[in-house]
Amino acid sequence: MKNYKTIAIIGTQWGDEGKGKVVHYLSRNADYIVRYQGGNNAGHTVVFDNKEYILHLIPSGILEHKKCVIANGVVIDPEALYNEIQFLKSKGFNVTKENLFISDRAHVILPYHKYLDVVREKTQKIGTTQRGIGPCYADKYSRSGIRISDYLEEGTF
């Protein structure tokens, strides 16, 4: 696999295909591991040094000390991201701005997204995890969502 410049792992079966395990295996020989879409509604479980880790937002390449990217197609719950970073640090992994890059065009899951998810699930059950993923994507596609870049521009809020 070392001769390839880019390898894409794309799930086509609505999740739970084992993408996380494949990405983790291939990350050993990669320079960058990119999470291109999704949110913290699902987790990928990987085994590293005989210990099991469950990650929701950060690519598992972080366990291999690789550079990881959370791209603009990902919707980010700031609290979930913070907690995941703290979890990794508590386990001895280095998570810094030098090895975790977050696109400033990624959209942010806000409290009202979670609220909408809960309310909609009560009236029209679709099996959502109620973490605000769907409502955040709805805002993204309607061009009314808040992105990471909005937090970086002084005076926006």
Q: Which residues are catalytic?
A: 16, 44
152: left (phi over 0), alpha (psi -120 to 50) or beta: alpha
CA dihedral 29, 81, 41, 37 (to 10 degrees): -50
Q: Quote the tokens at residue 68.
A: 């990881």
127: left (phi over 0), alpha (psi -120 to 50) or beta: left
* Distance set, CA 62 to CA 101, 110, 116, 121 (Å): 11, 26, 32, 34
